[in-house]
A and B are shown apart, each in its own frame.
Chain A
Amino acid sequence: MAHSLKPQKVENDIRNFGQWFEDRLPLGSFIKDGLADYPTPRNLNYMWNFGSLAGIALVLQIVTGLFLAMHYKPDIHLAFDSIQIIMRDIHWGWLVRNLHMVGASFFFIVVYIHIARGLYYGSYKSPREVLWGLGIIIFLLMMATAFMGYVLPWGQMSYWGATVITNLLSVIPFFGPEIVIWLWGGYSVGDPTLSRFYAIHFVLPFVIVAVVFLHLWALHHHKSNNPQGIDLSKADDFIPFHPYYTVKDIFGLGVYLIPFTFMVFFLPDALGHPDNYIPANPLVTPAHIVPEWYFLPFYAILRAIPIKELGVLAMFASILILFILPWLDRSPVRSARFRPLFRPLLVLFYANFLFLGYLGAMPAEAPYTTLSALATAVYFGFFAALPVLAIIEKPKPVPLTI
C-alpha cells in the first residue's frame, strides 16, 4: 500500500469516541476490510469451510488448554495423578479435558481435509506457494505440539512415545546421541523432559497463531482459490465474506459440532490408547506401541524401511516434500476437475494415505511390513510422477469464467 503523506483530517472530539479511536488506530477498518468486506469467490464449495474450522479448533485448544494448565502438574510424580484429579475432583474438569483430547483429534481431521482440498484444487500453485508453505509449517508445528501434549499425562504411551520419537534424532550424524541427551536433560526421558515438553507445549500454539496470521495475510494478498482453479478478475465473481461466508462457516461449524460433541460426551477415549491410563514405567515397554492416530501414516513410512537412518529420512521427507510440491507439479491447470490423469492419481494418493494409516496401526510383522514398503513407494511415486504428468497429460478445456 502506498503511503500517503498528505495531512489527514482527524476527529479531535473524544466524545465521538468511535471515530476518535479509528483515526488513531484504524482497527475497525482493518477488521472490516479483512473479514467483513474481504472479496471471496462466489463459487466456493463446502470444502472451503475447513480453513475457518481449523482456526476455531485452534482457539478451542488454546482455551481448553489454558484451563487445564491451571490444574496440571508437570512433575513425573504428580503428572499422572493430576490428570485423574482433573477428571474426578475438579468441577467440569472431565469436560474440559475431553474437549482438549477430542479437540486435538478433530483439529487434525479438519487440517487433513484442508490439505486434501488444497491438493485437489491446486491451491498450492503460483501465486500461492508461500501460502501453501506456511500451511505446511503450521502442520509441522501442530505435530510437535500434539506429540508433546500426548507426553504430558505421563502414561505408558506418553513415556514410550516420547522415548521412540526423541530417539529418531539419534540418526543425526556425529552429534545425534548427544543431541538426544540434551533434549532429554538426562540419560533417558525423565522429569526434565516432562517439564520442558510442558513449557514448549504451552507456547507453540501461540507460535501457530502467529503463523496463521501470516497464512491469512498471504491468502488475502491473492484472495482464495476456487473450485474451477481459475484466476478471477470480474467484480461480480466475488461476494463479501460477511454475511455470505460468515453464515456458511457458522452453519458448517454447527454440522461439525455434532460429531465433535458426540465424541466428547460419549466416546472421549475412542481415539486414544487404553495403555495411557497405566502410569509410565521406564522398565516395561507396552507390547504393542502405537502413536496417536493422526501420526499413523507417517509412522508406517518410518517402519516401512528396515534401515533405521533411511526410515527416519523417509518419514521426514514424506512431509517436507510438500514444500516443493508447487515446483514438482508443472501443470498450468490448478483444479483436478480439468486434469484427467491427475485426478484419479490423487484419489489413489488419498486412498494410499489412509491405507498407510491402517498399516501404521498394525504390528510390525508380515504381511504388514511388505505392504508398508509398497504403500510408501506409492506415496513417493505420486510426487515423482507429477513432473512427467504435466508433459503427458492433456487437460480438459478450462472455463474462462465461473
Chain B
Amino acid sequence: MENTPNNHPPSSLLDDDAPIGNPAAERRQLLINTTTAFAVAGAACVAVPFLRTMSPSRATEALATVDINLAEVPLGSMKTFLWQGKPVFVWHRTPAQIATAKAQDATSTMQAQPDAERVQKPEWLVVLGICSHLGCVPMQGGKSDGWLCPCHGSQFDLSGRVTQGPAGKNLDVPPYQFLNETTIRVG
C-alpha cells in the first residue's frame, strides 16, 4: 500500500464538501437527511413490537390478582401465598403482637412509618415477602420479632419495617382489599 494509514485520499463520491451555496447539493443533502430521518423512525417503529414480545404476556397479566382465604391463617401464625410469582406474607397477629408492633413505631427510624398506616385491620399484616435489599425471602425470627433475611442479615419488625441494614426500606405492602370478613384480594 502506497498510502500510509494517516493519508486517506478523500473519495469524491462519499465526502461531499459542505453543500452551502450549491442548490443541487443542498437539495440532495436535504433529501438524504429526510430519508435517513424517516428510515430511523421506521426502524424504531419496527423495533417496538419485537421488544414488546419480551414484556409479560397477556396470560401473565391475567394472573395479576389472587384471592386469599384468611381462614387458612390461624391466630398468631403466618402463612405465605403466591401473587404474580412473588411471596405474600399474611400474618394473623395476636393483640399482644399488635401492641408490640405499635410500640415499635418508636424504633422504626430507618423508614419511619406507623404500624397503623401499614395495615387495614390491625390483626392482619399483609406484606410482600421480598427483602428490600436484593430480593431474598426473609424468614421469621430475628431480634426485632419480625423477619430476618438469610442472605445479608437485614432485620424486620412485627410490622415488616426494617430495623437493621443492609436493606434500607420496609417490606412493601401490596395493594389489597377485603372482599368480606375472611377474604382479601391481592393486586
Residues of A near B59 (CB, < 8 A) are 85, 89
Distance to closest chain A CB from B43 (angstroms): 12
* B58 contacts A91, C-beta separation under 8 Å: yes
B11 at the interface (CB under 8 A from A): yes
* B49 contacts A96, C-beta separation under 8 Å: yes
Contact of A19 among B6, B13, B14, B60 (CB under 8 A): B6
Residues of B near A23 (CB, < 8 A) are 5-6
Q: In the complex, A4 Cα to B11 Cα: how many Å?
A: 24
Residues of B near A400 (CB, < 8 A) are none
How many A residues, CB 8 Å from partner? 30
A92 at the interface (CB under 8 A from B): yes
Residues of B near A22 (CB, < 8 A) are 5
Q: In the complex, A196 Cα to B1 Cα: how many Å?
A: 49
A95 at the interface (CB under 8 A from B): yes
A243 at the interface (CB under 8 A from B): yes
A377 at the interface (CB under 8 A from B): no
* A90 contacts B53, C-beta separation under 8 Å: yes
Q: In the complex, A22 Cα to B52 Cα: how many Å?
A: 37
* B50 contacts A9, C-beta separation under 8 Å: no
* Contact residues, A138-177 vs B (CB, 8 A): none
Knowing A85-B59, A242-B14 are in contact, say whether A70-B5 is a contact too (CB < 8 A).
no
Q: In the complex, A10 Cα to B6 Cα: how many Å?
A: 7
* B53 contacts A85, C-beta separation under 8 Å: no
Residues of A near B22 (CB, < 8 A) are none
B34 at the interface (CB under 8 A from A): no
* A71 contacts B5, C-beta separation under 8 Å: no
* A89 contacts B58, C-beta separation under 8 Å: yes
* A36 contacts B53, C-beta separation under 8 Å: no
* B50 contacts A67, C-beta separation under 8 Å: yes
* Contact residues, B1-40 vs A (CB, 8 A): 1, 4-6, 8, 11, 13-14
Chain A, residue nearest B5 (CB): A23
Flag A71-92 by CB within 8 Å of B: 1 or 0 each: 1000000000000010011111
Distance to closest chain A CB from B163 (angstroms): 41
Knowing A36-B14, A242-B14 are in contact, say whether A93-B53 is a contact too (CB < 8 A).
yes
Distance to closest chain B CB from A85 (angstroms): 7
Chain B, residue nearest A91 (CB): B52
* B53 contacts A63, C-beta separation under 8 Å: no
Residues of A near B55 (CB, < 8 A) are 91
A309 at the interface (CB under 8 A from B): no
Distance to closest chain B CB from A31 (angstroms): 12
B54 at the interface (CB under 8 A from A): yes
* B57 contacts A89, C-beta separation under 8 Å: yes
Q: In the complex, A10 Cα to B5 Cα: how many Å?
A: 7
Distance to closest chain A CB from B16 (angstroms): 11
Flag A1-32 by CB within 8 Å of B: 1 or 0 each: 00010001111000000010011001001001
What are 20 A-B contacts defined by CB distance under 8 Å? A8-B4, A9-B6, A10-B5, A19-B5, A36-B11, A36-B14, A63-B50, A64-B50, A67-B53, A70-B53, A70-B54, A91-B53, A91-B57, A91-B58, A92-B52, A92-B53, A93-B53, A240-B11, A242-B13, A243-B13
Binding site for B on A (CB under 8 A): 4, 8-11, 19, 22-23, 26, 29, 32, 36-37, 63-64, 67, 70-71, 85, 88-93, 95-96, 240, 242-243
Knowing that A67-B50, A85-B57, A89-B58 touch, tell me 5 more A-B residue pairs with CB under 8 angstroms: A22-B5, A63-B50, A91-B55, A91-B57, A240-B13
| Nearest 9 A/B pairs, CB to CB | A92-B49, A89-B57, A89-B59, A89-B58, A91-B52, A90-B57, A92-B52, A9-B4, A23-B5
